[in-house]
Amino acid sequence: MTSLRFVFLFLLISFSASAQKDYKLWLQYNTVTNPTVASQYKSNLKGIVVLGNSETIRIAEKELKTGFSDMLGNIPEIKSEVKGEYNIIVGSQSNLNAEIKNELQSDFDKINNEGFIIKSISIKNKKQIVITGKNDVAVLYGVFHFLRILQTNKSVKNLNIADSPKTNIRILNHWDNLDRTVERGYAGFSLWNWQKLPDFIDQRYIDYARTNASIGINGTVLTNVNANALILTPQYLEKVEALANVFRPYGIKVYLTARFSAPIEIGSLKTADPKDPEVMNWWKNKSAEIYKRIPDFGGFLVKANSEGQPGPQNYGRNHVDGANMLADAVAPFGGVVMWRAFVYSEHDANDRAKQAYTEFQPYDGKFKENVIVQVKNGAIDFQPREPFHPLFGAMPKTPLMMEFQITQEYLGFSTHLVFLPKLFQEVLESDTYQKGKGSTVAKVVDGTLYQNKLTGIAGVANIGNDLNWTGHPFAQANWYGFGRLAWNPYLDSEVIAEEWLRSTFSNDENFIKPVKDMMIESREAVVNYMTPLGLHHIMDTGHHYGPGPWVSNLSRPEWNPTYYHKADKNGIGFDRSKSGTNAVSQYAPEVANLFDNLETCPEKDLLWFHHVSWDYKLKNGQTLWNGLALKYQEGVNQVREMQNVWNKAEKYVDSERFNEVKMLLEIQHKEAKWWRDACLLYFQQFSGKELPERVEKPTQTLEYFKSLKFPFAPGNG
């Protein structure tokens, strides 16, 4: 009996220890096991001097203590003043003594308000490490960066880091509804427990803020872009205020989505016309009411006249009228309006890929100073691969912010391992040529191309109340990588993958190298088994789970996969060249010509821009049909290789996370085959050709795949 009880207790403890690992994300603070590294840390980090006493500074101090005690087994002596050497001195510029301030003057000149300095200095011949910035939140960023140095086992000798975020707004967009369902969420329900707020503060709110601060995220939009006006009522604002209070010391501002028709729905006005004085007044008063509660409220995110959401066009006005009216309301308080450019209309027969540009580009220079236009990375909708959105670089007088999707709506939900920073990097590196060679999307986004002051990157969150936050343990890397790229859009995704692996799992080189390669490859794998060679939007209806290239019966033509692949006896692909819809003309001439010409169009984008015959010869000499089929097969093979790599990682990973990933990879493998077989069987009806030898034969019929239904797939409202 006793021994049974003991076994039970042991299991319970080991289960919770393991579950905690999942929960702790990249802030594991694993014990430093490399003896050389550990002894270097111990001899260089002997005391901690914390200057200042704000809540933020207390958080920074606590973080350092946790980091030290977990990673090194003891906390260096906490001192009230700088005595002796090898101290870590933590505090903002104004709290440093004159000598240190002087020593760091040129470093302070290099950083912006959110930037930090981590530097080894010698004062009166005594070696010290200073972690500082212009305010306490910047110091907190510095502390997290310093702990990352320890987590990744890098040297703490001769530190000389001055790093600032390159964008102002680094923000998560939660598509969370007030009933706690999450649109396109695959990690459980919303974190925000509106029923228990404002009085009950879930520990997860604090952990959420801490985690975001650790990667420099400084904003969060709590509510879905398909907005509910109720969030703007006093009953809910009181709850929002409670969350804002939790997030504030971590440097995170709260934003809300503004439903354009709110003045009617909760304000009993007859109209929401942005030129109506009563409406303008309503928003002004509403903003004042919000700022009274939340003085650092960030502002509004708006989806207007898009997919049925109300907007200024309901009143014969345009996006500029709508955005500027809201901008005026929040301007006195320093708020911003993030106005989304994700628009396309069922009344517009033009290529959907062209519609946002056609509508928004002429508005360049017309928005108020505190408006930033939020543009998805591609012109359709977060597909596994899209060429960059033509609006980037095309609105020199308007700040544009990037919208990435971290949640994997079109990339296998939270069951597929796909490392998204690779996708993000591909977009950010794309050259728009709008101001000559080197006019990359990253330079548009960080404002350096056109000297915009307001800059930002948004990521549609993949976070829910699952124990591990993101559903898939590796989806945590996408949250992490988003934050790192929002801070610095020029970071290499390989560097990000490596940092994340070291902080999340292990510093063992035998683990890092193969698993990092697996992550990097995972993005191309998903493209290959879902939408190779520029195919896009061929998923099943509504839930977007699994393949549905046959779907052609939806009321809006541009919702049908057949609209996008246009497969017929002659070939496949969407002709967006000059002889087709001429979507290429929305890019700068250099880019337009590149895409327009079959010879120069990158094959990864081929079927995005061209309708080509099944016998078209690819660069590798294969016909298009064979090449397409082989790509689908390659995707499946890549998943198999990912499984092999993971199986060899067993000894470096705790058993719970190891098994989770193993099971998920099995699902991914099954679903990769499903995509391959369903798509190839469907397209084969048009090509009329046999599958090439190296492609495995489908084990089910096309009719079977078409019959699959998923009435309760998650994320589909």
Residues lying near ligand BDP in the complex (CB under 6 A) are found at 183-184, 225-226, 303, 307, 342, 381-382, 409
| CA dihedral sign, ordered 249, 255, 256, 257 | negative
CB-nearer residue toward ligand BDP: 227 or 695? 227
Residue 613 main-chain phi, psi, to 5 deg: -75, 155
For the bound state, the minimum distance from the C-beta of residue 226 to ligand BDP, rounded and expressed in Å, comes to 5
DSSP 8-state assignment for residue 378? B
Residue 484 main-chain phi, psi, to 5 deg: -65, -40
With 0-12 CB in 10 A as exposed, 13-18 as middle and 19+ as buried, what is 579? exposed
For the bound state, the minimum distance from the C-beta of residue 373 to ligand BDP, rounded and expressed in Å, comes to 14
**Distance from C-alpha of 583 to C-alpha of 596, rounded to nearest angstrom:** 9
CB-nearer residue toward ligand BDP: 409 or 660? 409
CA distances, 387 to each of 391, 521, 628, 702 (Å): 12, 19, 19, 30
For the bound state, the minimum distance from the C-beta of residue 545 to ligand BDP, rounded and expressed in Å, comes to 12
What residues are annotated to the active site? 307, 381, 409
**Distance from C-alpha of 184 to C-alpha of 403, rounded to nearest angstrom:** 15
CA distances, 348 to each of 359, 492, 630 (Å): 11, 39, 36
For the bound state, the minimum distance from the C-beta of residue 116 to ligand BDP, rounded and expressed in Å, comes to 34
Q: Which of 176, 95, 190, 183 is nearest to 139 (CA)?
A: 95
CB-nearer residue toward ligand BDP: 250 or 559? 559
Q: Are 160 and 119 in contact (CB under 8 A)?
A: yes
Closest residue to bound ligand BDP by CB: 381
Tokens of 528: 């290959």
CB-nearer residue toward ligand BDP: 537 or 657? 537
For the bound state, the minimum distance from the C-beta of residue 304 to ligand BDP, rounded and expressed in Å, comes to 11
CB-nearer residue toward ligand BDP: 225 or 607? 225
The residue length of the chain stands at: 717
CB-nearer residue toward ligand BDP: 166 or 184? 184
Tokens of 69: 């005690």
For the bound state, the minimum distance from the C-beta of residue 235 to ligand BDP, rounded and expressed in Å, comes to 25
Q: Which of 264, 263, 246, 262 is nearest to 254 (CA)?
A: 246
What are the E-state strand segments in 275-318? 299-302
Tokens of 342: 């994700």
**Distance from C-alpha of 656 to C-alpha of 13, rounded to nearest angstrom:** 13
CB-nearer residue toward ligand BDP: 183 or 348? 183
**Distance from C-alpha of 609 to C-alpha of 578, rounded to nearest angstrom:** 10
For the bound state, the minimum distance from the C-beta of residue 441 to ligand BDP, rounded and expressed in Å, comes to 19
Tokens of 539: 């998923």
DSSP 8-state assignment for residue 472? S
CB-nearer residue toward ligand BDP: 50 or 302? 302
For the bound state, the minimum distance from the C-beta of residue 361 to ligand BDP, rounded and expressed in Å, comes to 20
Q: Which of 485, 484, 511 is nearest to 153 (CA)?
A: 511
For the bound state, the minimum distance from the C-beta of residue 344 to ligand BDP, rounded and expressed in Å, comes to 10
User: DSSP readout, 130-181?
Assistant: EEEESSHHHHHHHHHHHHHHHHTT---TT-EEEE--S-SEEEEE--B-TTS-
What are the E-state strand segments in 607-677? 612-613
CB atoms within 10 A of CB 246: 16
**Distance from C-alpha of 380 to C-alpha of 360, rounded to nearest angstrom:** 15
For the bound state, the minimum distance from the C-beta of residue 381 to ligand BDP, rounded and expressed in Å, comes to 5
Q: Cis peptide before 198, with omega less than 30 degrees from 0?
A: yes
Q: Are 186 and 408 in contact (CB under 8 A)?
A: yes
- The C-alpha angle 99, 100, 106, rounded to 5 degrees, equals 110
**Greatest CA separation for the chain:** 82
For the bound state, the minimum distance from the C-beta of residue 310 to ligand BDP, rounded and expressed in Å, comes to 13
Q: In Å, how far from its chain's centre is CA 520?
A: 16
Taking the CA atoms of the chain, what radius of gyration do you get in angstroms?
26
CB-nearer residue toward ligand BDP: 433 or 608? 608
Distance linking the first and last C-alpha atoms of the chain: 49
CB-nearer residue toward ligand BDP: 152 or 226? 226
CB-nearer residue toward ligand BDP: 18 or 226? 226
